């Protein structure tokens, strides 16, 4: 049997052997081709399925135009919108801040919200500059220098907790100091003053209207948040330094704690 088997194998010609192998190789090639075709079919992007159509099956041309217009107006370079801001935060540190109509007091709540404002300001404006000025005893005191380090501003604000508010606020002195701090700010950035005022009066050494005129000529924009009631000179300040903004938007009075927090722009 062994010899007959050998002879049977030897009798098979090379051509016949190749013919026996070809069908199997052909099946493998066909199976591979079918798999490739199925993979290619899954990779086809059926973009026509995304076309907006009417109930009768026609394409909604107005929707296509709206999508095209949306893509055209999309800002692909968001950095060009970024504006370097230079802002001075002016805080009322006078005896009027001892009132407890805002819990625990106007003074402590203002320090807390000012710290939160500094954090949010630098989160949204990481390359901007900020400084803090206080009004106490009829003078303007520098709480922190103009810088881009939020930790420094927050630490200086926390030191105010150890001090008691006293005396009268001086709006003119604070505006003059804020204008001097923003004097060297480059023209490609903004110049802003944000004033938080709890007092209803201001102890000024001169004509505050001339100071407002200087702010206008220096292109400094002022925003005021009141904690007691609206003051006429503050309304004049925001209307003259914000000619394109309604005074009601640039000067608001906090009604309660949550409203106070919402008024602080970042």
Per-residue pLDDT of the chain (266 residues; tens, 9 = 90+): 444 444 444 444 444 444 444 445 555 555 555 665 554 444 444 545 555 667 776 666 666 666 656 555 554 434 334 589 999 999 999 999 999 999 999 999 999 999 999 999 999 999 999 999 999 999 999 999 999 999 999 999 999 999 999 999 999 999 999 999 999 999 889 999 999 999 999 999 999 999 999 999 999 999 999 999 999 999 999 999 999 889 889 999 999 999 999 998 76
pLDDT confidence of residue 83: 83
Residues linked to residue 195 through DSSP beta bridges, in sequence order: 90, 224
Nearest to 135 by CA among 203, 193, 200: 203
pLDDT confidence of residue 187: 87
Q: Are the C-beta atoms of residues 181 and 89 closer than 8 Å to each other?
A: no
Q: How far is CA 72 from CA 68, 75, 80, 196, in A?
A: 6, 8, 16, 42
pLDDT confidence of residue 55: 72
Nearest to 224 by CA among 100, 85, 91: 91
Nearest to 117 by CA among 157, 173, 161, 171: 157
In sequence order, what are the residues at sequence separation of 6 or more whose Cβ sits closer than 8 angstroms to the Cβ of residue 170?
A: 135, 138, 139, 140, 202, 203, 204, 205
- What is the Cα–Cα distance from 206 to 232, expressed in whole angstroms? 17
- What is the Cα–Cα distance from 178 to 133, expressed in whole angstroms? 7
In sequence order, what are the residues at sequence separation of 6 or more whose Cβ sits closer than 8 angstroms to the Cβ of residue 92?
A: 110, 134, 135, 165, 169, 196, 197, 198, 199, 227
């Amino acid at each position: 049997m062994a010899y007959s088997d050998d002879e049977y194998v030897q009798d098979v010609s090379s051509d016949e052997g190749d013919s026996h192998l070809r069908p199997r190789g052909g099946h493998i090639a066909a199976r591979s081709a079918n798999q490739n075709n199925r993979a290619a079919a899954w990779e086809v992007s059926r973009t026509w399925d995304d076309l907006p159509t009417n109930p009768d099956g026609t394409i909604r041309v107005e929707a296509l135009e709206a999508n095209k217009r949306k893509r055209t107006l999309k800002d692909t370079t968001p950095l060009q919108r970024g504006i370097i801001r230079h802002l001075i935060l002016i805080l009322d540190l006078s005896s009027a801040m001892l009132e407890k109509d805002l819990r625990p007091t106007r003074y402590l709540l203002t320090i807390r919200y000012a710290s939160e404002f500094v954090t949010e300001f630098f989160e949204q404006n990481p390359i901007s500059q900020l400084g803090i000025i206080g009004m106490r005893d009829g003078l303007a005191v520098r709480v922190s220098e103009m810088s881009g380090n939020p930790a420094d501003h927050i630490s200086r604000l926390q030191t105010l907790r150890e001090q008691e508010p006293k005396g009268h606020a001086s709006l003119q002195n604070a505006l003059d100091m804020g204008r001097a701090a923003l004097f060297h700010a480059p023209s490609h950035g903004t110049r802003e003053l944000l004033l938080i005022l709890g007092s209803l009066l201001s102890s000024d050494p001169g004509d505050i209207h001339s100071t407002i005129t200087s702010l206008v000529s220096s292109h400094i924009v002022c925003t005021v948040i009141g904690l007691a009631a609206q003051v006429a000179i503050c309304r004049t300040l925001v209307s003259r330094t914000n000619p394109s903004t309604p005074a009601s938007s640039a000067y608001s009075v906090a009604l309660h704690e949550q409203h106070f927090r919402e008024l602080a722009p970042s």
